[in-house]
Amino acid sequence: MAQNNVDYDDEVARLAESFGLPYQVRISEELSEQLKPNEFMAGLGIQYLERVKTVLGILKAKMIKEKGEETFPKKVQVVPLAVAKGPYIKEELISIRAEVTDDGGENVISLTPILDED
């Protein structure tokens, strides 16, 4: 049974906090669909939240200390991520745009896919 992105929002918030990210993280529906494993890959043990953990770990590694707070060196970061697809188990490279935005006076990291323009 597929879960909506909303079903994972609390889990993503807990993961972001556990990584020590100073902002809330919001994952777009488009990116969520790219990160969710298909039925074949899920049967091999690939999990959506494990992929989210990988992205959050990369984000944490890109942060720097500035004026006593952790932040990105630039407001927008690009996170490349290899995502395994099935059933032929090939990897697809996706690019994720991580942008610090203001959401009603609160900084939020918005994660969206960078789509190929063919």
Identify the pLDDT of residue 28: 95
Give pLDDT tens digits for 53-93: 999 999 999 888 777 777 777 888 899 999 998 888 789 99
Identify the pLDDT of residue 116: 73
User: Mean pLDDT: which of 7-11, 49-53, 76-80, 106-110 is highest?
Assistant: 49-53
Please determine, for residue 2, whether its predicted confidence score (pLDDT) is greater than 60. no
Please provide the DSSP assignment of 99-111 as one string: EEEEETTEEEEEE
The model's pTM: 0.84
Contacts 24+ apart (CB under 8 A), 73-78: 75/99, 75/100, 76/100, 78/114
Identify the pLDDT of residue 45: 93
Q: 22: which residues sit within 8 A by CB, 6+ positions away?
A: 63, 69, 70, 71, 107
Q: Which of the residue ranges 7-11, 29-33, 54-58, 72-76 would you say has the lowest mean pLDDT?
A: 72-76
Please determine, for residue 105, whether its predicted confidence score (pLDDT) is greater than 70. yes
Q: 41: which residues sit within 8 A by CB, 6+ positions away?
A: 84, 85, 86, 89
Where in the chain are the domains? 5-114
